[in-house]
A and B are shown apart, each in its own frame.
Chain A
Amino acid sequence: MATSDEIMEALADFKEQCNSNKRLRRMQRDWTKVLHYVAFDTGDKFTMTVKEGEIISNESSAAGTPDVIIEGESETLCNMFWGDINPTQMYLKGEIKVKGTQEDIMRIDAITAIIWPEV
């Protein structure tokens, strides 16, 4: 089980990696979304706001109207943001649930493919 602080730390690292990657920023420049992450074992909720490919904020609550909701165990979410697991494989095993469009799901996978190509 991961705590809310641990997930926020992982999200901060994820934000840093995404925003510092010029290739990724260019690739995702037409992607503006609000993503909610829900840790179903702890009940913790998080909000990531992406504007034109840049992660502009992470919050430890459910804020705004989400375009995408990603739900999983706290540990799984934490590992996902640290790049320790492949989110698509988790998705296909039913370990994480994604509510949103297929395009958004593919965008999230594309982000992880760029910053962690080996995962």
Chain B
Amino acid sequence: MSVIDDILSEKDPEKIRKETETNYREYLNPFVLRMFKNAGLDIIEGRREGASVWDVTGDKYIDCVTGAGIFNVGRHNREITDALKKALDVYDMGGWISIIRERGLLAKKLAEITPGNLKYSLFCCGGGEAVEVAVKLARGHTGKTEIICMENGYHGVTGFALPATGREVYKKPFAPLAPGYTHVTFNDINAVKAAITKDTAAVLLEPVQGEGGIRPADDSYLSGLRKLCTDNEILLIFDEVQTGFGRTGKMFCAEHSGVVPDIMVLAKSMSGGLYPISCAVFTEEISDFLIAHPFIIINSFGGTSLACLVALATIEFIEKNNLPERAAKMGKRFMEGLSSLKITYGELVVDVRGKGLMLGIEFPEESIGPRMASLLKKNGVISIYTFNNPRIIRIMPSLVITEEEVDFVVEAFEKSLKEIRAQESERKSKKG
């Protein structure tokens, strides 16, 4: 029996749990396991389908984390899995020092679906790498060095991306980092204006801050940034790693404001949840830098045949099923349900916000986020607080989520809030 047969044929949930926990404890990170267990989020993923995931024990949960927006097309999407299987019968990854047909087809498709004059693509594997490409292109193209980014923004934790991430905790142990990054208050045009110098190459931001607490940028702010950047010959970079491919109710979040960035960073859901791929999409003008330096940014595993085919199948699925429109509709349903909870549980819910199916619920104190995550799991929903702001629980389900599943999640929130209210009341009575 091969190692794969051996792994897939094991059906005893207790054996799987013990083995996995031991391996995490002994060979990965015991503290990660402890944190998941303490929070009651120690789900070992078994079956995955649509908006749901099943623990190996068979318990079903609606997945409202989806790896922060990886599974827009649903968990283990059969159509895309079949596309990958077909591709595997014909291809391997393809050589990176080769001309790959699928890479060209995907680049053409991205040029068609991304807004405005975004046209050329450079492929990598993860979101952080694609942000690094965007920063390199900005510096290479403009000949300037400074990158203005946002406080509480998140752009990954690799080389040129890490300094752009707006939180010290990710950076402090690894100093010195690449220099030339300035952080300003999000959604404040005057803060950007004040930070611009003659050396500013680009302004980098997420149109909805994900890890920063699901904070959408105002349309007027984005259009103001566009004008400011154009007037000062500065590039505007949108990190749409979490917001891209239908998540916010449009194919790309930039479409809400009508603002076209000079570089757009895409990753996560582009993979169909099956095969890693990311990219920076940019204008023809910026591509001039890569004409002069064609092999200056290279990647062995960026834009492989298999990854590109999966991405093409993913985009086809999103378009065929009109997932952006579905995200807008289901997001509205969520917003209505959660807003009514804000009225009923006013002392516990400070705000409900977001765009499409990228939603956040804000609580008055940090401890409630982790407690809610723990209770939601008991009530059949996997959700987790945002990394840069634990007061906010994110709701980012697959875009294939049904109306019934939306209602189930809202009901789970209500049950969990009820329990928190009871806990708080008991605590207050103890406190006298």
Task: Please give the residue numbers on chain A whose beta carbons come within 8 Å of chain B beta carbons, in ascending order.
Answer: 30, 40-41, 73, 86, 88-89, 91-95, 97-103, 105-106, 109-110, 113, 117
Pairs A–B under 8 Å by Cβ, sample size 20: A30-B172, A40-B430, A40-B431, A41-B430, A41-B432, A86-B38, A88-B35, A92-B370, A92-B371, A93-B371, A94-B367, A95-B427, A97-B365, A99-B366, A103-B169, A105-B366, A109-B31, A109-B34, A113-B30, A113-B34
Q: Closest residue of chain A to B387, judged by CB?
A: A102
The answer to whether B324 has its CB under 8 Å from any CB of chain A is: no
Chain B residues closer than 8 Å to A100, beta-carbon distance: 366
Given A40-B431, A41-B431, A94 and B172 touching (CB < 8 A)? no
Nearest Cβ on chain B to A26's Cβ, whole angstroms: 13
Cβ of B366 and Cβ of A92 under 8 Å apart?
no
Chain A residues closer than 8 Å to B366, beta-carbon distance: 98-102, 105
Chain A residues closer than 8 Å to B365, beta-carbon distance: 97, 99
Task: Please give the residue numbers on chain B whose beta carbons come within 8 Å of chain A beta carbons, in ascending order.
Answer: 30-31, 34-35, 38-40, 169, 172-173, 365-367, 370-371, 374, 385, 390, 420, 423-424, 427, 430-432
Chain B residues closer than 8 Å to A92, beta-carbon distance: 38-40, 370-371, 374
Nearest Cβ on chain B to A29's Cβ, whole angstroms: 10
Tell me which of B35, B420, B430 contacts A73 (CB under 8 A): B430
Chain B residues closer than 8 Å to A101, beta-carbon distance: 169, 366
Cβ of A109 and Cβ of B431 under 8 Å apart?
no
Cβ of A89 and Cβ of B38 under 8 Å apart?
yes
Given A41-B430, A94-B371, A94-B427, A110 and B169 touching (CB < 8 A)? no
Q: Closest residue of chain A to B170, judged by CB?
A: A103
Cβ of A91 and Cβ of B370 under 8 Å apart?
yes
The answer for the CA separation of A115 and B365 in the assembled complex, in Å, is: 28
Chain A residues closer than 8 Å to B374, beta-carbon distance: 92
Cβ of B31 and Cβ of A113 under 8 Å apart?
yes
Nearest Cβ on chain A to B423's Cβ, whole angstroms: 4
Cβ of A98 and Cβ of B173 under 8 Å apart?
no
Cβ of A94 and Cβ of B420 under 8 Å apart?
yes
Chain A residues closer than 8 Å to B172, beta-carbon distance: 30
Q: Chain A at the B interface: mostly helix, strand, loop or mixed?
A: mixed
The answer for the CA separation of A113 and B420 in the assembled complex, in Å, is: 26
Nearest Cβ on chain B to A111's Cβ, whole angstroms: 11
The answer for the CA separation of A88 and B37 in the assembled complex, in Å, is: 10
The answer for the CA separation of A39 and B318 in the assembled complex, in Å, is: 54
Given A94-B427, A98-B366, A98-B367, A88 and B38 touching (CB < 8 A)? yes
Chain B residues closer than 8 Å to A117, beta-carbon distance: 30
Given A30-B172, A40-B431, A113-B30, A94 and B390 touching (CB < 8 A)? no
Cβ of B39 and Cβ of A110 under 8 Å apart?
no
The answer for the CA separation of A15 and B431 in the assembled complex, in Å, is: 28
Q: Closest residue of chain B to A88, judged by CB?
A: B38
Tell me which of A86, A94, A99, A105 contacts B423 (CB under 8 A): A94
Known pairs A94-B424, A97-B367, A101-B169; list 6 more (Cβ under 8 Å): A30-B172, A30-B173, A41-B432, A91-B370, A92-B39, A93-B371
Q: Closest residue of chain A to B39, judged by CB?
A: A92
The answer for the CA separation of A88 and B374 in the assembled complex, in Å, is: 11
Chain A residues closer than 8 Å to B423, beta-carbon distance: 93-94
The answer for the CA separation of A86 and B39 in the assembled complex, in Å, is: 12
Nearest Cβ on chain B to A113's Cβ, whole angstroms: 5
With most chain B CB atoms within 10 A of its CB, the pick from A92, A97, A105, A106 is: A92
Nearest Cβ on chain B to A63's Cβ, whole angstroms: 23
Nearest Cβ on chain A to B421's Cβ, whole angstroms: 10
The answer for the CA separation of A40 and B172 in the assembled complex, in Å, is: 35
With most chain A CB atoms within 10 A of its CB, the pick from B172, B173, B367, B423 is: B367
Cβ of B367 and Cβ of A91 under 8 Å apart?
yes
The answer for the CA separation of A110 and B40 in the assembled complex, in Å, is: 17
Q: Closest residue of chain B to A93, judged by CB?
A: B423
Nearest Cβ on chain A to B385's Cβ, whole angstroms: 8
The answer for the CA separation of A94 and B39 in the assembled complex, in Å, is: 12
Q: Closest residue of chain B to A106, judged by CB?
A: B35
Chain A residues closer than 8 Å to B169, beta-carbon distance: 101, 103
Cβ of B35 and Cβ of A109 under 8 Å apart?
yes
Chain B residues closer than 8 Å to A94, beta-carbon distance: 367, 371, 420, 423-424, 427
With most chain B CB atoms within 10 A of its CB, the pick from A30, A88, A105 is: A88
Chain A residues closer than 8 Å to B31, beta-carbon distance: 109-110, 113
Q: Closest residue of chain B to A40, judged by CB?
A: B431
Chain B residues closer than 8 Å to A95, beta-carbon distance: 427
Chain B residues closer than 8 Å to A89, beta-carbon distance: 38
The answer for the CA separation of A88 and B36 in the assembled complex, in Å, is: 11
Cβ of A109 and Cβ of B38 under 8 Å apart?
yes
The answer for the CA separation of A109 and B35 in the assembled complex, in Å, is: 9
The answer for the CA separation of A94 and B385 in the assembled complex, in Å, is: 17
Chain A residues closer than 8 Å to B390, beta-carbon distance: 102
Q: Closest residue of chain B to A86, judged by CB?
A: B38
Nearest Cβ on chain A to B414's Cβ, whole angstroms: 18
The answer for the CA separation of A88 and B172 in the assembled complex, in Å, is: 25
Q: Closest residue of chain B to A105, judged by CB?
A: B366
The answer for the CA separation of A50 and B285 in the assembled complex, in Å, is: 54
